């Protein structure tokens, strides 16, 4: 059934089945366990430690970091990086015994949110080494010698990076071409290839390098493993493997510091490797597990770093936007008194509340190791990045012409130098980085479809015919007939205190019904479309979208209940209920359109456009194709 997701075969091989408890896995099967969204409370001493550290970081940012200078010079000063190392900011997720602060994911997220509210570029520079640099893969998969050697270094003095993406692969991580070949002595690998968009690459001392190793199968301790072959002779395959790369090693060359629409202070590299020698002891974990490791460590960035940075950026824009709406006069009246802007700000408020509650929930789940949060992590990343873009664009509309002008230009004539246009430019990167939205949606849908795909694997196999296919069909009927009837029976909510609130109960009952409707609709879609579902990203996107909204509904309503019960704050219900009203409309529409929609018509138009069937759309201009923008010597 990996054919259902054509082009993802290698990723499918690297993907592990859900191993811990997962709220989303149950939700896609029509059995959401809302108790899973209420893990044990955060220890008070842990929260106090995080809040105390946030005060230190806040003082450092105010006194030593000029975010406007970072934007203007497109560079983070070395003194700033040194100061953050002294504060331990690059070692927040590294345990104390290895020189780090040993923070929880929740505290790590809080600190990144605070930093991003001052400078999202600085927050990103700090996050990358701890999310996808060498610290996390060594912590999860490295040996004790590697931990002792490298973790104290990256916690206190050395920046690290992540080298996965290549010019011709992008999000298609399975098809990277960089190779690491074991030399004839068996003591080191020789690396050739290139990597693109390596964040922190130009300033990194180390990098997590994912490369393909010529290897063959062998049996050790009763299991099959990949073994690298000297000089690639007799290799059965090129298998993805993770390495600790010393960026000072001969043959590593930074070819370019990439420049982007926004994120001007980011250090991002195009780099090449020519005869780079990497000792065998720098292999992280097992040969052939590199893609699996990459997918796992990317979950940290998706769950914590990107949502935190996006949340910080959105919160940074919130108060200046309110101030602008209250002070900007049009026709003798503040625009904040106009219904259009009030509705816009109301929607921004509901989105910001939903972003924060979802991010905090996923961080909290990440701190409890029995949870498998890969689906929740992907959803948090998509939701927060997409909502941040919409929120910031709405803020820019409220600022009007001042929202299109740069902060520096406004400051020159004495206007408040708030750079909403910079935030709008910067935000787009977080939609793309660490798993673009259009890649993560099918990923989430794949997890939702997984139980059904596994059960129907033999039946959908095109090689199975005749009696065997009939047997498989009968077997599936025996399972799905009782399964189907269960999807019409309501699952009761628990009697926990949080669930007794009438607004919580009514909202979660709707979410539970919608979960069963979604589960039924997924099976209907599989029966109706079978193999055609493999390329039907419209339906895959709707599966993800419903799951995303149901998770966020549950997060917001439980957060509103908690704020009311513990702090007497009733106003959170305004925001939770507004998000629920909008989400309910989207959910009902997406479930209906999972079965019947007009995607085929729009797809046909897109296909014809790609084949050049609408030449008039390029008429009346000086027509130039993409290759005509190449440098003249390369055309």
Task: Tell me if 528 sits within 8 A of 520, measured CB to CB.
Answer: no
Token pair listed for 368: 């409890």
For residues 541 and 445, give the distance between their C-alpha atoms in angstroms, rounded to a whole number.
7
For residue 45, give every residue at least 6 positions away whose Cβ sits within 8 Å of its Cβ, in sequence order, or none: none
Integer angstrom CA distances of residue 287 from 207, 210, 424: 17, 11, 42
Task: Tell me if 306 sits within 8 A of 298, measured CB to CB.
Answer: no
CA atoms within 13 A on the CB side of 89: 29
Q: Please report where in the chains the tokens 């206007």 appear, as a residue.
A: 415
Using CB atoms within 10 Å of the CB of residue 319, give its burial: 0 to 12 exposed, 13 to 18 middle, 19+ buried.
Answer: exposed
| Cβ neighbours of 508 (radius 10 Å) | 23
Provide the pairing of β-strand 160-163 with 206-220: parallel
Active-site residue, selected from the candidate residues 434, 512, 544, 578: 434
For residues 356 and 116, give the distance between their C-alpha atoms in angstroms, rounded to a whole number.
14
| Cβ neighbours of 604 (radius 10 Å) | 10
Output the DSSP codes for 31-72: ---GGGGSPPPPPHHHHHHHHHHHHHHHHHHHHH--HHHHHH
Residue 231 annotated in active site:
no
For residue 184, give every residue at least 6 positions away whose Cβ sits within 8 Å of its Cβ, in sequence order, or none: 230, 231
**3-state DSSP call for residue 515?**
helix
Token pair listed for 416: 């408040």
For residue 330, give every residue at least 6 positions away whose Cβ sits within 8 Å of its Cβ, in sequence order, or none: 338
For residues 115 and 127, give the distance between their C-alpha atoms in angstroms, rounded to a whole number.
10
For residue 111, give every residue at least 6 positions away whose Cβ sits within 8 Å of its Cβ, in sequence order, or none: 50, 53, 54, 57, 89, 92, 103
DSSP 435: S
| Cβ neighbours of 489 (radius 10 Å) | 9
Integer angstrom CA distances of residue 389 from 106, 325, 426, 555, 619: 23, 19, 9, 21, 33
Which residue, 287, 454, 312, is CA-closest to 391? 312
For residues 185 and 416, give the distance between their C-alpha atoms in angstroms, rounded to a whole number.
64
In 190-223, which positions are buried (b, 16+ CB within 10 angstroms) versus exposed (e)? bbbbbbbbbbbbbbbbbbbbbbbbbbeeeeeeee
| H/E element, 199 | strand 188-199
Output the DSSP codes for 449-496: HHHHHHHTHHHH-TT--HHHHHHHHHHHHHHHHHHHHHTTSPPPPP--
Tell me, rounded to whole angstroms, the distance of Cα 282 from its chain centroid: 27
For residues 270 and 256, give the distance between their C-alpha atoms in angstroms, rounded to a whole number.
5
Catalytic residue set: 434
């Amino acid at each position: 059934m990996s054919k259902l997701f054509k082009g993802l075969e290698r990723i499918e091989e690297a993907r592990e089945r859900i191993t811990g408890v997962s709220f989303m896995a149950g939700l896609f099967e029509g059995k959401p366990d809302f108790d899973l969204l209420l893990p044990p409370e955060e220890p008070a001493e842990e929260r106090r430690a995080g809040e105390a550290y946030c005060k230190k970081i806040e003082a450092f940012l105010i006194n030593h970091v000029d975010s406007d200078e970072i934007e203007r010079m497109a560079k983070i000063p070395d003194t700033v990086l040194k100061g953050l190392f002294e504060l331990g900011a690059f070692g927040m997720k590294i345990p104390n015994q290895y020189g780090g602060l040993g923070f929880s994911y929740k505290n790590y997220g809080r600190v990144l949110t605070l930093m991003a509210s001052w400078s999202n570029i600085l927050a990103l520079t700090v996050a990358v080494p701890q999310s996808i640099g060498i610290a996390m893969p060594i912590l999860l998969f490295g040996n004790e010698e590697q931990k002792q050697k490298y973790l104290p270094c990256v916690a206190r003095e050395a920046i690290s990076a992540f080298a996965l993406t290549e010019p011709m692969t992008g999000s298609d991580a399975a098809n990277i071409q960089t190779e690491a070949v074991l030399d004839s002595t068996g003591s080191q690998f020789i690396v050739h290839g290139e990597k693109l968009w390596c964040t922190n690459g130009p300033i990194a001392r180390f990098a997590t390098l994912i490369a393909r190793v010529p290897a063959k199968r062998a049996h050790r301790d009763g299991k099959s493993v990949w073994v690298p072959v000297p000089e690639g002779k007799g290799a059965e395959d090129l298998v993805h493997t993770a390495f600790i790369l010393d960026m000072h090693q001969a043959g590593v060359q930074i070819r370019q510091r990439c420049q982007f629409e926004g994120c001007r202070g980011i250090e991002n590299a195009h780099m090449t490797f020519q005869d780079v020698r990497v000792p065998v002891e720098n292999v992280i974990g097992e040969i052939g597990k590199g893609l699996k490791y990459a997918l796992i460590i990317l979950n940290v960035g998706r769950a914590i770093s990107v949502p935190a940075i996006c949340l910080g950026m959105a919160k940074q824009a919130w108060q200046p936007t309110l101030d602008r709406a209250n002070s900007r006069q049009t026709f003798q009246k503040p625009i904040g008194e106009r219904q259009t802007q009030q509705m816009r700000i109301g929607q921004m408020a509901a989105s910001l509340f939903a972003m924060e509650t979802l991010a905090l929930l996923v961080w909290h789940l990440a701190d409890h190791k029995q949870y498998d949060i890969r689906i929740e992590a992907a959803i948090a990343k998509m939701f927060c990045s997409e909502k941040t873009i919409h929120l910031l664009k709405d803020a820019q509309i409220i600022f009007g012409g001042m929202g299109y002008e740069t902060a520096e230009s406004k400051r020159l004539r004495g206007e408040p130098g708030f750079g909403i246009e910079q935030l709008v430019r910067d935000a787009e990167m977080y939609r793309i980085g660490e798993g673009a939205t259009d890649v993560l949606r099918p990923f989430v849908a794949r997890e939702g479809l997984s139980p059904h795909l596994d059960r129907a694997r033999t039946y959908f196999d095109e090689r199975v015919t005749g009696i065997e296919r009939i047997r498989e069909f009968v077997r599936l009927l025996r399972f799905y007939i009782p399964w189907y009837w269960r999807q019409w029976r309501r699952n009761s909510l628990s009697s926990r205190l949080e669930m007794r609130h009438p607004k919580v109960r009514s909202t979660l009952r709707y979410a539970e019904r919608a979960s069963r409707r979604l589960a039924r609709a997924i099976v209907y879609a599989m029966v109706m479309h079978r193999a055609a579902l493999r390329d039907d990203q419209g339906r895959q996107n709707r599966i993800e979208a419903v799951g995303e909204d149901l998770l966020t509904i549950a997060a917001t309503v439980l957060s509103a209940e908690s704020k009311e019960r513990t702090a007497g704050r009733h106003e959170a219900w305004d925001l939770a209920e507004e998000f629920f009203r909008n989400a309910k409309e989207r959910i009902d529409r997406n479930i209906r359109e999972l079965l019947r929609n007009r995607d085929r018509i729009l797809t046909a138009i897109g296909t014809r456009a790609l084949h050049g069937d609408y030449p008039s759309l390029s008429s009346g201009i000086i027509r130039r194709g993409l290759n005509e923008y190449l440098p003249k010597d390369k055309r």
